[in-house]
Amino acid sequence: MEKKWEEMSADEKQEAQFQKMLAPKDPEGNDIKFQSPEAEAAYKANINRFKAAVQLKAADRVPVMLFPGMYPLAYGGITLKDAMYDYDKCVAAHRKFVLDFQPDMQFGAAGPGPGKFYEKLDYKLYAWPGHGVDPEGRSYQCREAEYMQAYEYDLLLTDPSFFFRNFYLPRVFGALEPLQMLAPMTSILEMYGVAFNFIPYGLPPVQGAFKALFEAGEEALKWAMAVGGFDIEMKAAGVPNILGGFTKAPFDTLGDTLRGTKGILMDMYRQPDKLLAALDAVTPIMIGMGLGAAQQTGNPLIFMPLHKGADGFLSDEQFKTFYWPSLKKVIEGLVEGGCIPFCAAEGGYNTRLEDIRNLPKGKTVWMIDQSDMVKAKEIVGDTLCLLGNMPSSLLHLGNPEDVKAYAKNLIDTVGKGGGFIMCNGSFFDHAKPENIKAMVDYTKEYGVY
C-alpha cells in the first residue's frame, strides 16, 4: 500500500514530488501530450539532471538554466509595455527566448504581469512603463515607502489578515481604499447585531471596490490562461518550469513592502522585541504561502529572492538575530512539506556561508549572485546545490570568449562532482544574444561529467 503523505520522510516526499513533475498534467488533471518522443525524453532528462544536482550528485552533465529579468522581451522585439498589455505578445517573446537558447528548464512568462489588472486596481507599490517609469522602459520598479507604520506592529500581530485588508491593501491599491471601512470578520459572532457588520457592503464606495476586484480578477484570469498555456506548451516541447511558486524570508516580507528598508533597520534598534514577534508571526504564513503554491502548480520549487541578508547589509549579529532564524524556519518548513526552496542570495553572501550550510542536505537550491563560488563550494557544497554566478555585466558587455572562460572556470571548480547548475547570477534586462548562447552551448558541451 502507498504510504500516506504525512507518514513520508523528507526524502520520500521529495522523490514523490519529482515523480509528479515527471508526469506533467494540465489544470484539468489530464496528462500533457508531448510533441514528440524526443521531447518527452528531453523533458525527463532535464528533470533528472536537475534532480541529481539538487541531491548534490552528477548526472550526464552540468545543468544549464536561464533566469532572465525582462530580457526575453527585448530579445523578442517588444517592450515591457507591449508584454504587459498583450499577453500573446508576451508569450511569443518568451517562447522565442526558450526555443532559441534551449536552456534545460524555463522560468515561465509571468514576469511582466497583467498591465490592465494593475490599472484597474490603481496599483501604487510599483512604477511600470507609462505609470511612473519611461513608457519604453525595460523593467518595473518598486516604490519603497512605509506602507506599514512603526506603531502598527500590534495591529499586524493581532490579526495579519485584518491589517492587510483594512490598512495595507488600501494603501497600495488606490481602488481598494474603501476596504478600510469593512468590519473585522472576527466580529461576526451571533444573530443579535450580526447585520451591523455587513452595512459597509451596502455602501457605494465599498461596492465600487468590489466591482474593481471582480474586474481585476477577470483580467488576472485572462492573463493566467495565457502564461499557464505557455508552461504547458513548453512542457510538451520538453522544457519544464523551474518555478512552482514564491515566498519570502520573513525579514524581507516585513522590510521590503511593509516597513520599508529604512523602517525595518530602525526597528532593529528602536523596537527589536516587536520586530522579532512580527518575524515569528509571519514565519508560518510564509511557509503556508510556499506549500500552497506548490500544491496549486504541482511543482515543488519555491523561489525565495533574498534581499536584506546580503554581506555588509546587516552585521553578523543582526543577521543571526533578525534575518536567519525565521528564514531557516521557512526553509525547513518547506522542506518538511516536500518542497524544494530555491533561494536567490542577491548581492554577496560570503560572510553568511557558515550559517546557511546548516540546512537539510540536498534539499535546497541557492542562486548565487556575487559570492566567491569556490569558497561557497568549499563551505556549503556538501549541503546546498549552487546555481548561477554568471555576471550580468559579462552577459551584457563581454563577448562569447569571456563568457566561455568564465563558464569553464565555474564548471572546473564548482561543477566538480555535481551539485552545480550553470545560470546567470542576477536578473538581467540587457544582454548580447551571442553571450547567452555561448553560456548555454558551452555548458552543454564542456560540462559533461
Q: Applying CB under 8 A, which residues contact another protein?
A: 69, 127, 132-134, 137-139, 141, 143-144, 261-262, 265-266, 268-270, 312-315, 318, 391-394, 396-398, 426, 428-431
When the beta carbons of 152 and 369 are compared against another protein, the nearer one is 369
Distance, in Å, from the CA atom of 368 to the CA atom of 246, rounded to the nearest integer, reads 17
When the beta carbons of 137 and 244 are compared against another protein, the nearer one is 137
Smallest separation (angstroms) from another protein to the CB of 13: 37
C-alpha distances in Å from residue 398, one per residue of 404, 435, 442 = 10, 7, 15
Smallest separation (angstroms) from another protein to the CB of 318: 6
Smallest separation (angstroms) from another protein to the CB of 348: 9
**φ and ψ of 48, to 5 deg:** -65, -35
When the beta carbons of 48 and 271 are compared against another protein, the nearer one is 271
Amino acid at 19: Q
Q: Do the beta carbons of residue 303 and residue 364 sit within 8 Å? A: no
Smallest separation (angstroms) from another protein to the CB of 393: 5
When the beta carbons of 25 and 270 are compared against another protein, the nearer one is 270
When the beta carbons of 295 and 351 are compared against another protein, the nearer one is 351
Location of C-alpha cell 532572465? 68
Distance, in Å, from the CA atom of 62 to the CA atom of 367, rounded to the nearest integer, reads 15
Distance, in Å, from the CA atom of 47 to the CA atom of 27, rounded to the nearest integer, reads 20
When the beta carbons of 385 and 423 are compared against another protein, the nearer one is 423
Among candidates 70, 53, 2, 75, which has minimal Cα distance to 449?
Answer: 53
Burial class (CB in 10 A: 0-12, 13-18, 19+), 78: middle
Smallest separation (angstroms) from another protein to the CB of 268: 6
Distance, in Å, from the CA atom of 216 to the CA atom of 66, rounded to the nearest integer, reads 31
For residue 90, the cross-strand partners are none
Location of C-alpha cell 514523490? 16
Report the DSSP pairing between strands 141-142 and 245-246: unpaired
CB within 8 Å of 298: residues ≥ 6 apart: 20, 21, 24, 25, 244
Q: Do the beta carbons of residue 157 and residue 181 sit within 8 Å? A: no
Among candidates 104, 66, 54, which has minimal Cα distance to 418?
Answer: 54
Smallest separation (angstroms) from another protein to the CB of 34: 35
Smallest separation (angstroms) from another protein to the CB of 216: 25
When the beta carbons of 42 and 431 are compared against another protein, the nearer one is 431
Smallest separation (angstroms) from another protein to the CB of 406: 11
Smallest separation (angstroms) from another protein to the CB of 4: 46
Smallest separation (angstroms) from another protein to the CB of 201: 38
Buried b (16+ CB within 10 A) or exposed e, 277-315: ebbebbbeebbebbbebbeebebbbbbbbbbbbbbebbe
When the beta carbons of 127 and 285 are compared against another protein, the nearer one is 127
When the beta carbons of 9 and 315 are compared against another protein, the nearer one is 315
187 half-sphere exposure, CB direction, 13 A CA radius: 11
When the beta carbons of 133 and 281 are compared against another protein, the nearer one is 133
